[in-house]
Amino acid sequence: MSPPMESKKNGVVLNAQEIASHRSISSCWIVIDGKAYDVTEYLDEHPGGAAVLLKQGGTKLAVYLLNDKSILAALLGMHLEAEASDATAEFRKIHSPDILKYLPEYACLGAIDAAAQAALPISNVSADSIDKPKTEDGANKVSHISSIVVPNDFEAAAKISMPLKSWTYISSYSHDGSAFRGNLASWQAVRFRPRIFADVRTVTPECRILGSASAFPFYVSPMGQLGRGHAVAEIGLVRALARRGAHGVISTESTVKMEEIAAAFLEEKKKVTASAAAENRPEAQLHFQLYIPADREIAIQRIRRARATGVFHSLWVTVDTAVLGKRSADRKLQAAEALAASPDLAAHAERAGFGMLSHVGSAQLNASLTWEDVKWMKQEWGGPVVLKGVQTAEDAARAAELGVDGVLLSNHGGRQMHDAPDALTTLLEIRTYYPGLVDRLEVFVDGGCRDGADVLKAVALGAKAVGVGRPFFYALAAYGEKGVERCLDIFADELITGMRLVGIKNLDEAQPERVNASRLLNEMWRPEKSRL
CATH topology of domain 179-324+371-530: TIM Barrel (3.20.20)
pLDDT in tens, 324-352: 888 888 888 877 877 777 777 777 667 66
Q: Strand 247-250 to strand 285-290: parallel, antiparallel, or no bridges (unpaired)?
A: parallel
pLDDT at residue number 135:
45
Burial class from Cβ neighbours inside 10 Å (0-12, 13-18, 19+) for residue 434 reads middle
Contact between 83 and 125 (Cβ < 8 Å):
no
Q: What angle do CA 417, 331, 30 make, to 5 degrees?
A: 120
* Alpha-carbon gap, residue 37 to 28, rounded angstroms: 8
* Alpha-carbon gap, residue 124 to 53, rounded angstroms: 12
Judge if pTM exceeds 0.85: no
pLDDT per residue, tens digit, the chain (532 aa), is 344 444 445 445 466 677 777 766 677 777 776 677 777 766 655 555 555 544 433 222 333 333 333 333 334 333 333 333 333 455 556 666 666 566 666 667 777 766 666 666 555 444 444 345 444 444 568 999 999 999 999 999 999 999 998 999 899 999 899 999 999 999 999 999 999 999 999 999 999 999 999 999 999 999 999 999 999 999 999 999 999 999 999 999 999 999 999 999 999 999 998 887 778 889 999 999 999 998 999 999 999 999 999 999 999 999 999 888 888 888 888 778 777 777 777 776 676 666 544 444 445 788 889 999 999 999 999 999 999 999 999 999 999 999 999 999 999 999 999 999 999 999 999 999 999 999 999 999 999 999 999 999 999 999 999 999 999 999 999 999 999 999 999 999 999 999 999 999 999 999 999 999 999 999 899 887 776 5
- Distance, CA of 94 to chain centre: 11
Q: Which of 247, 348, 412, 418 is catalytic?
A: 412
* Alpha-carbon gap, residue 379 to 382, rounded angstroms: 5
For 487, the 3-state DSSP assignment is helix
pLDDT at residue number 292:
94
pLDDT at residue number 88:
44
pLDDT at residue number 104:
66
Active site annotation includes 79: no
| Every domain range in the chain assigned CATH 3.10.120.10 | 6-129
| Every domain range in the chain assigned CATH 3.20.20.70 | 179-324+371-530
pLDDT at residue number 43:
60
pLDDT at residue number 325:
85
Q: Say how many C-beta atoms besides its own lie within 10 A of residue 55's C-beta.
A: 23
Q: Say how many C-beta atoms besides its own lie within 10 A of residue 110's C-beta.
A: 17
pLDDT at residue number 62:
34
Q: Is CATH 3.10.120.10 the classification given to domain 6-129?
A: yes
